[in-house]
Amino acid sequence: MSFPVLKSAGYVLVNAPDMIVNAGSTFTNERILNPDSDLLKNVKDHIRSFDEFVSYLPNQIYIGNERPEKLAEHSLPYCKIDYKSDKVMGQRGSIVRQEEFLAVLKYCDEFELVELSEEYVNKYKNQVEKRFPELETRFDRLVGVDISNGQELVENHKAMGLYLDEKLVGYIRQAHDTDPNLNAHTMFENMIVKASGVLSAIETLKNSEVSKKEIDYVIECSEEACGDINQRGGGNFAKAIAEVAGIENATGSDVRSFCAAPVHAIIQASALVKAGVYKNVMVVGGGCTAKLGMNARDHIKKGLPILEDAIGGFGVIISQNDGKSPLLRTDIIGRHTVKTGSSPQAVISSLVLEPLVRNGLKITDVDKFSPEMQNPDITKPAGAGNVPESNFKMIGALAVTQGEIDRKELKTFVEEKGYPGWAPTQGHIPSAVPYCGHMIDDLTIGDKNRAMLVGKGSLFLGRMTNLFDGVSIVAERNTGLVEEVKGLDETEAVRKVIAEAMKKVAESILENEE
């Protein structure tokens, strides 16, 4: 049986200091409930500079310039580590300045909703064109306009402001006067998803053997949803992202399941490739502005900078077996079913233990687990604890109950089978996929043979069910054996079908003439 492979992975981090205040849910609510609060007055004193953002070790790990193991050398808080870097380009991704990202929003604008000032365009046009040569066909869209009415539109909720250093340099307009699904705030969030998704797609293709013309299908798996009043959430980020990224031979659709969506999408993409429906499928996820500064209040209280200052994005390409890339074992799938229950033990058992046992494997047969890889630098000060470590401990406890390891070996198990968390708390972004790039290395040039991606989601947040959600999939080192595909190749087969059809049409015409 020939399994699909994880061909490549790409990541993007957009530094978004002004969006923390103007779009993050914590500050959006604060302006409504307590507009004169000290939090709003003093927030700029707690926002990191771009240089500090780049020199943050978890961010360098996210874009592939450092390995996750490096975090194990340090204690929390990571933001106090004496680590310096000026690298905005990584082995598997890049860091993007806020001023550059605003231009990408305009490149992605199909309905003239994004307006940027003449001053902004004159200052940054050359810079962003050098930064994003992949978007050359869209350069002519970046035209400055008079935004003197911008502040009035923002105050009347007709637009969401775009700021640099607290100065209004543009805005995103509402797309409809009365439809709440097309209001300014929603359009702002959706444009951020699209633009960060486009950059993620570009990063994923940069170091891939698969060209953009070879991508057949795109699955988008972020937490936002586009649509209008007649089909709320029924839209399609995937195809919108593919259009801008130049993935012109693909169609696509969206997958939603809160934080678990990326692993759902990887499994679905793997199934499509294994079934032969498509040869190359891209899974991509844009970022979330609502999560910016989400835990800022707690960070400030603990004397830390606001660490949720990044819009995150990712992409992976899943392809037919090439004999070298990590295999995605579509027969080793974990599922949180309706009857599983909501206890942490039940969730982990269904996602980790059950699929392994069903396939004759032990927990200790897996070299690395990647569950929710949230950065504890962000979550611990907010009272959410060290999420990856907690997950690894639960997995280790299962191994103890199965008699695979002794209780005394639990600490060693956590250190060997897990990694410290490094992903920004962007909802779905930390869910297993930050490891995909490093996993490709671990299972090819590294010394690992098997890894498990574990995605979990909080479905109860939608107020439709109290259930949790989760799925998992195992990846393995490629054996190098590729199942022979018999029959005509695709091009020859298509030509034969067309030729036969044309022959029948010609015969039919001749018969009618007679």
pLDDT digits (tens, 9 = 90+) for 20-45: 999 999 999 999 999 999 999 999 99
CA angle at 374 for the pair 372 and 376, rounded to the nearest 5°: 130
Write phi, then psi, for 303 (nearest 5 degrees): 75, 25
How many other β-carbons are positioned within 10 Å of the β-carbon of residue 352? Answer: 24
pLDDT digits (tens, 9 = 90+) for 418-476: 999 999 999 999 999 999 999 999 999 999 999 999 999 999 999 999 999 999 999 99
pLDDT digits (tens, 9 = 90+) for 362-420: 999 999 999 999 999 999 999 999 999 999 999 999 999 999 999 999 999 999 999 99
**Could you tell me which CATH class the domain 5-476 is placed in?**
alpha beta
- Each residue of 411-441: b (16+ CB within 10 Å) or e? eebbeebbbbbbbbbbbbbbbbbbbbbbbbb
Q: How confident is the model at residue 488 (pLDDT cuts 50, 70, 90)?
A: very low
Spatial distance between the Cα atoms of 344 and 144, rounded to a whole number of angstroms: 52
pLDDT digits (tens, 9 = 90+) for 94-153: 999 999 999 999 999 999 999 999 999 999 999 999 999 999 999 999 999 999 999 999
* pLDDT of res. 501: 53
Say if residue 303's pLDDT is above 90: yes
Q: How confident is the model at residue 505 (pLDDT cuts 50, 70, 90)?
A: low
Query: In terms of Cα–Cα distance, which of 135, 136, 108, 106 is closest to 118?
Result: 106
Please, how many CA atoms are within 13 Å of residue 492, restricted to the half-sphere of its CB? 4
pTM: 0.93
* pLDDT of res. 481: 81
Spatial distance between the Cα atoms of 77 and 380, rounded to a whole number of angstroms: 9
Spatial distance between the Cα atoms of 324 and 339, rounded to a whole number of angstroms: 38
* pLDDT of res. 73: 94
Would you say 309 and 375 are in contact if contact means Cβ atoms under 8 Å apart? no
Say if residue 487's pLDDT is above 50: no
pLDDT digits (tens, 9 = 90+) for 249-281: 999 999 999 999 999 999 999 999 999 999 999
Say if residue 209's pLDDT is above 50: yes
Q: Which of the 8 DSSP states describes residue 295?
A: T
Spatial distance between the Cα atoms of 341 and 339, rounded to a whole number of angstroms: 6
Q: What is the mean pLDDT of residues 184-201?
A: 98
Spatial distance between the Cα atoms of 372 and 387, rounded to a whole number of angstroms: 7
Query: In terms of Cα–Cα distance, which of 482, 483, 453, 487 is closest to 470?
Result: 453
Spatial distance between the Cα atoms of 422 and 139, rounded to a whole number of angstroms: 34
Say if residue 489's pLDDT is above 60: no
Amino acid, single-letter form, for residue 202: I
Q: Which two tokens stand for residue 69?
A: 């193991």
Q: What is the mean pLDDT of residues 311-325?
A: 98
Spatial distance between the Cα atoms of 175 and 149, rounded to a whole number of angstroms: 17
CA-atom Rg of the chain in angstroms: 24
Q: Please, is 456 exposed, middle or buried when counting C-beta atoms within 10 Å of its C-beta (0-12, 13-18, 19+)?
A: buried
Mean pLDDT value across the chain: 94
